[in-house]
Amino acid sequence: MRAANQVYYDIDQNYGNDINLSATDDLNTVTGLFRSQQRILRRLFTNPGFYIWEPTYGAGLPAYVGQNITPDNFNGIKSLILSQIFLEESVAQIPEPIIVLQTIQGGLFCQITYTESSTQQSVVLTFNVSG
């Protein structure tokens, strides 16, 4: 069980980019809100089965690029996003996150409003899924 006031660190790496280095070329670390956002994006963009040691990790959102998006697809994508982000300890289950999807040229725009569990702060995370 995690301690309530324990601070957790990850290596600072935005999905799709190199690891971020400090001014002295050491590995940067990330905590709090930025850690939460990086972990959510990594989970949503990673294809299921990519991590062989954790085969259910990932939502595989890039697989939807180029597909004909219907209202049923939107509901399925929203359910997939919700089920995956609830696996992150930083996402509070109550209130339930609000997920807004919109088609854009070449992909999807996604906005997720969630509550960060340790601070109870409302967070808006926006990103594009495009080819």
pLDDT digits (tens, 9 = 90+) for 50-65: 988 898 899 999 888 8
Considering the domain boundaries, does residue 97 fall inside one? yes
Any domain includes 1: no
- Residue 28 has a pLDDT of 61
Q: For residue 69, is it within any domain?
A: yes
Among left, alpha and beta (phi > 0; psi -120 to 50; other), residue 65 is beta
Q: For residue 66, what pLDDT band results from cuts at 50, 70 and 90?
A: confident
User: What does the pLDDT look like over 90-128, one tens digit per residue?
Assistant: 999 999 999 999 888 878 899 999 999 988 999 999 999
Give, in degrees to the nearest 5, the angle at Cα 123 between 86 and 92.
30
Residue 70 in any domain: the answer is yes
In a domain, 2, yes or no: no
Q: What domain range includes position 25?
A: 10-130
Q: Is 107 helix (H, G, I), strand (E, B) or coil?
A: strand
The answer to whether position 53 is within a domain reads yes
Q: How many residues are there in the chain?
A: 131
What 8-state DSSP symbol labels residue 97? Answer: P
Residue 3 belongs to some domain of the structure: no
Between 7 and 130, the more confident residue is 130
**CATH number for the domain harbouring residue 40:** 3.10.450.40
Q: What's the structural domain count of the chain? A: 1
Quick check: 26 pLDDT over 80? no
Residue 31 lies in a domain: yes
- Residue 25: which pLDDT band, with cuts at 50, 70 and 90? low
Query: What's this model's pTM, rounded to 2 decimal places?
Result: 0.79
